[in-house]
Amino acid sequence: MPQPRLFTPISLRNVTAKNRIVISPMCQYSATDGMADDWHLVHLGKFAQGGAGIVMTEATAVNAEGRITHGDLGLWHDGQIAPLKRIAAFLRANGSVPAIQLAHAGRKGSMQRPWYGNAALTPEDHARGDTPWTIVAPSAIPMDDGWLMPHELTEPDLKSLREDWRLATLRAVEANFDVLEIHCAHGYLLHEFLSPLSNRRKDAYGGDRAGRMKYPLEIIETVRAVWPSDRPLFVRISSVDGIDGGIDISDSVAFVNEAKARGADVIDCSSGGLMGSATAARIPRGYGFQVPFAEQIRRETKATTMAVGLILHPHQAEDILAEDKTDLIAVGREALFDPNWPLHAELALSETRGEIGDGTFASWPKQYGWWLERREPGLRKLDGPALPFRKV
């Protein structure tokens, strides 16, 4: 039988991932002054041990005011390079492609860490040392009632911010990541430019669709100019706002065509988040609910796409790929539930194909597989054909 599509390698420019599974960026809100620490190393490292083809850091701020919370990672000064470089090296040594997402929170900055409420900072947060800072946006429109009023970015501000993106990209190169993703989704700064609900500017960076796309496209150009030509560039989008008057799929198709022309290699197709939590939108949620966005964008733009959103089961992921709906499968919170999801998925698909036998755990880290391989015959005697991983 042909190999499952989920476990076929994919080459993007000169970077090859061993399979089509990507661990999505998932903020941990646990950094101090933007610095990665041992939590981030272990958090991301176990996904490489778990068999993912690409492992991506959480949103990493290009400047201090671009953080969502005080606990966000950053790359706004050179001192932040070394701990991220250590993480990238560990991911690569354990078989995964190290990837980093660069971001600016825009008007969704200066927020509470989610376990304190995921809302505007309160006096209780200030007492913990999480004090507010000045936030910025395309237009002086707060995210919601009770939230900070953002400073409307001037053209000199935009120029300075482009330089922040450029320098952060150079630091990502120095940290030795192989994939870089630009965050244009979930209500953060670049998404705020794209959506007519948050961009009311009267200059060249607002108005019609072309004007609203102008600044995010300039950031893509800025990053691509200094990101090595042999390494792929991902762009994460909110395919639709899911709010009346917001971005629809035709807007995203137009943006993706322009992003491709500027050197974007993969479009990471999420949705929502303009207001409220990062993935908030009035979109019905079922298994794989965002896959149709990745499928339509892939079909209409010929872009390489990545699907994300309640893709929980190995056979579900395999079917999505086998039906040519997308090229990559992103797994987020399900990987928190099961950091070995890729390895378990490989076992589940192998079982279906009748390929279970000697070498069942060959893909596992040798420190684990050696033991599991020797345990397996005894389990077979106890359980007969019902192997534990069949429940994945």
Catalytic residues: 188
C-alpha 213/C-alpha 341 separation (Å) is 36
Tell me the DSSP string of 162-210: HHHHHHHHHHHHHTT-SEEEEEE-TTSHHHHHH-TTT----STTSSSHH
Q: Dihedral (C-alpha) 151, 154, 160, 165: value to the nearest 10 degrees?
A: 70
Residue 350 CA from chain centroid, whole number: 28
DSSP-derived pairing of the beta strands 73-74 and 151-152: unpaired
- Closest to 320 measured CA to CA, from 346, 355, 294, 284: 294
Tell me the DSSP string of 195-260: -TTT----STTSSSHHHHHHHHHHHHHHHHHHS-TTS-EEEEEES---STTS--HHHHHHHHHHHH
Count of alpha carbons within 13 angstroms of residue 382, beta-carbon side: 7
Continuous segment of H or E residues that includes residue 345: helix 341-352
Phi and psi at residue 73, to the nearest 5°:
-70, 160
C-alpha 336/C-alpha 377 separation (Å) is 29
DSSP-derived pairing of the beta strands 73-74 and 54-61: parallel
Continuous segment of H or E residues that includes residue 85: helix 81-93
C-alpha 331/C-alpha 310 separation (Å) is 8
Assigned token pair, 124: 């209780």
DSSP summary character for residue 79: G
Other C-beta atoms lying within 10 Å of the C-beta of residue 241: 27
